[in-house]
A and B are shown apart, each in its own frame.
Chain A
Amino acid sequence: MNKKIRWKIILVIAVIALAVFLAYPPGEKINLGLDLRGGMHLVLEVVTDDAVVTETDQEIARFKEELNENDISFEIISKTSGQIAQFYIEGFPPDKQGEVRQLVEEKFQQWDIRPSSERITLTIKSGVESYLREQSVRQSLQTIGNRVDELGLTEPTIQRQGLTGSRIIVELPGVEDPERVKEILKTTAKLEFRLVLSGPAPDRETLLADQDGEVPAGAEVMRGDLSRTQGEYYLVSDVAPIVGSDLRNARRTTDEWNNPAVSFSLNPEGARRFATFTEEHVGEPLSIVLDGQIQQVANIRERIPPPGDTILHGSYTMEEAEDISLVLRAGALPAGIRYLEDRTIGPSLGADSIRKGLTSILVALFLVLIFMGIYYRMAGINAIVALLLNILLLMGALAYFKASLTLPGIAGIILTVGMAVDANVLVFERIREELSQGKSVWSSIASGFSRAFKTILDANVTTIIAAIFLFQFGTGPIRGFAVTLIIGITASMFTAVFVSRLIFELTVPRTKKKQKLSI
């Protein structure tokens, strides 16, 4: 045996060992896709408009304050209808226009100003707007990540679709109760404490009867949570001294009557404000609002000292109390989210797909092996070894790249079984041709391999081109298919050319004597 061949053998054995090391045991090393292990695939969109609207609202409030502080009177300050990032003021004294402009230049630099004699319009700068949108997506990613962690789900994937844009892909293996998870992810979880000015009332008219049917300045109408209460109407203050970001922790607990409740504590800064606030408003009713719905109204009995521990008790079920404390811990979403795609595969269906996929692979493998053995005899066995090695390499590569094996991926393996022997067939047919022209066994083998190689390369590269585009465009399962196809075809170049040739070297003696090749 010459030196070159010895090195080739060592290389092949090393590759086999590496593949086995990477892929064994397959149950642990091969990552299964959601369609095989069961779980939930969500595509959601962050409604980034919300973040812009919030910013505009806050800036209008701040502008109002500034105008009051500077003693500039005005009649209207309001969002431009149909616009989310624009507001205007009207009815200010004409001689004050300069002052208003100065105010904008000094303290509202995020805004572009368009003055006219009666009306000053402010529009958010486009750079600022896109920054706000970008921020809201990033923060949503963070919050959703927190919530998924809190749910204790294993191996979640949360990523942005593309580098920009407002879509987020969430993949959660093993979820069996998708509705609950979706509800949790979707909750904005905006928590506020607000003073109740009047109420409850059965409807809006009754509530506002004392106010001549108008909502007074500095107030807002809110309703009780419809899923748990009658949805009574309240008039509440439009400022919230305590909001979700003041929270330090929240957890599920039970109240003194042993009903499920949510307890939470505030961070030092929030707790200090809460103490002052409760001191000032002893005896007044305070509401706890979650996502714009009143959860609970209670009178402030006394100053609540830091750390401001509070218990929220609506008539929650245990699961609801758990979910509310979870979203409060994980933080609020800066903007609403909307589901665009939702696929949930149950674990039993996934297991069924695995069984069917494996059956198909084994049957296909068996048929092809039998065929190659019969058609090419000894050379067929050569091809069989190459094919089995190909599948082993495919497994190793899947494990190495941590690519998920999906059902279409299994189809990709089956196709590889069918197509990988193509390289062998091309070589063997060439060898047969050369033999039929009366060449010696070894010169036939040599020219068979060298002539077929160019064809094999061209044919495989084009298939890989198709697979690459498929990978680019596809989602989860389809990507799994593209990956197995690319790996399988690449591996077949190694197994069907390099390894197969080596097997010929080892089994066919290099002799001057006349011999027959079993092909």
Chain B
Amino acid sequence: MQFIKNPNFDFMKYKYIALVFSGLIILTGLINITVGTGINYGIDFAGGTLVRIIFRDQVSVGEIRQDLRDIGIENSRIQEIGENGREYIIRTFEEEAEEQSGEEIEAHEYVAQLVVDALRSEEEKSAITQGLPDLNSIDENFLAELIQPEFPEQAEELAQRITVLRNSQDLEGIIQDYSQLSELAGLSPELINLLQEKTFLSHFAVLSKETVGPQIGLDLRRKAAQATIWALFGMLIYIAIRFQYAYGVSAILTLAHDVLITVGIFSLTNRELNLPVIAAILTLVGYSLNDTIVIFDRVRDNLKLLRKSDFKHLLNTSINQTISRTVITSGTTFLTVFTLFLFGGEVINDFAFTMLIGVIVGTFSSIYLSCSMLFFWKKIFKPKKGLGK
């Protein structure tokens, strides 16, 4: 099977259109970053607290916001996960934390605690003041200690059964009702009575809580920028050694283009920039360079084989000779990344999104831009030895 039989497209004809097209997207992105909505830094870079919560029953964003309004942090970002209205991510921002207290991360933790407290119902608050632990957040060891006096022999095993049930796929981290303990974990009525007496069941459970202090955020921002720049530089050196300076510079310009467009689109879609996204950007840099190198490799070969040929024609031939491979590899990569985007879940979604854009942009730039850069290089600098090696 073959998608394209004997491809013979005039890619170089569109070099100016491609440049203008890319330029416009980059410009839009840059404008949005500088004077528009800017880059939406996630907690990794901006600091702050992220609390992920699952509720027993369906709740609306409005209800959560109402609870948060009571403690004055209603402008936290509340994001629903999934479709059943039970799971939410609440992010509080640094400025609010600083208003609450001067200390760095303690302030964030304080806010995170405030969020959790604000969501508690009156009965739950009174249970806590009585010193009852929440069965939905209790530590396994402590639970074992709690039931030790009445079930000395099996305390540990029983405690484990309860926490395993709590974290199972069916319950997703929250026990909704004491009756579930007998139905799903087969616990005896005596034990359930004991638990009802000594614990309470909160109507929500905290699935994860992440707090990053501003100091770390600043650090990571610096490191991320450094890693990106050094990676680009490392690649430039490698290509300059394996090929020629001209190829290195052309490739790096192409990559810089990919990074700028991806960051721009990120800014335009208002997604959060987090560590995994930086990882995705660096990966797509490597990926896009793959494509570019395959084409450049052909260009170099053809410079030996087709000495008489016009340079523009030679570039076109090289792209056409590799177009099948470019399309197939991009296709399989796109397929896998798209799978990740669909099935990978919320945590990895931004990463998958970045890679999706990256694969498209990287393929486009390898085909349309990398060779144009070489073309312009030859036109402007007129290297005496030519571009072969």
Contacts and interface: CB of A to CB of B under 8 A. Distances in A.
Binding partners A and B: yes
Interface in A11-48: 35, 38, 43
Interface string A474-490: 11011001100100000
B109 A418 contact: no
**Counting chain A CB atoms within 10 Å of each CB, which of B109, B138, B209 scores highest?**
B209
Given A346-B167, A415-B283, A469-B282, A455 B207 contact: no
Contacts of B285: 466
A414 B337 contact: yes
Interface string B154-185: 00000000010011110111000000000000
A347 B142 CA distance: 17
B335 A340 contact: no
Contacts of A317: 131
Contacts of A415: 283, 333, 336-337, 355
B1 A374 contact: yes
B231 to A, nearest CB: 4
Nearest to A343: B210
B80 interface: no
B87 to A, nearest CB: 10
Contact of B139 (A35, A180, A458): A180
Interface stretch (A123-131, A189-197, A231-239, A360-368): A360-368
Contacts of A339: 105-106, 109, 211, 213
A422 interface: yes
Interface string B215-251: 1100010011011101100110011001000000000
A25 B339 CA distance: 26
Nearest to A429: B325
Given A177-B142, A367-B339, A422-B290, A465 B347 contact: no
Contact of B208 (A345, A357, A410): A345
B53 to A, nearest CB: 10
Interface string A108-132: 0000000000000000000000000
Interface residues of B, number: 85
B355 A177 contact: no
A8 interface: no
B345 A473 contact: no
A357 B234 contact: no
A357 B235 CA distance: 31
Interface residues of A, number: 82
A241 B59 CA distance: 59
Interface string B341-363: 01111011001100100000000
B294 A481 contact: no
A407 B348 contact: yes
A368 B297 contact: no
B335 A364 contact: yes
Contacts of A180: 139
A473 B224 contact: yes
Task: Tell me what chain B mostly uses at the interface: helix, strand, loop, or mixed.
Answer: helix
Nearest to A420: B332
Nearest to B6: A436
A466 B336 CA distance: 20
Contact of B142 (A319, A367, A417): A319
Given A342-B210, A342-B211, A466 B231 contact: yes
A167 to B, nearest CB: 9
A364 B336 contact: yes
A478 B277 CA distance: 10
A466 B208 contact: no
Interface in A398-453: 407-408, 410-411, 414-415, 417-419, 421-422, 425-426, 429, 432-433
Contact of B293 (A43, A342, A432, A459): A459
Given A419-B333, A422-B290, A458-B238, 17 more contacts: A342-B109, A343-B209, A352-B169, A356-B344, A360-B343, A408-B351, A415-B333, A415-B355, A422-B325, A455-B294, A455-B297, A458-B239, A459-B294, A462-B238, A467-B282, A470-B279, A478-B275
The 10 tightest CB contacts between A and B, nearest first, are: A348-B173, A463-B286, A418-B336, A418-B333, A466-B286, A473-B227, A177-B139, A356-B345, A364-B336, A469-B231
Interface of A: 35, 38, 43, 152, 175-178, 180, 317-319, 338-349, 351-353, 355-357, 359-360, 363-364, 367-368, 371-372, 374-377, 407-408, 410-411, 414-415, 417-419, 421-422, 425-426, 429, 432-433, 454-455, 458-470, 472-475, 477-478, 481-482, 485
5 contacts: A176-B137, A364-B336, A371-B335, A473-B223, A478-B276
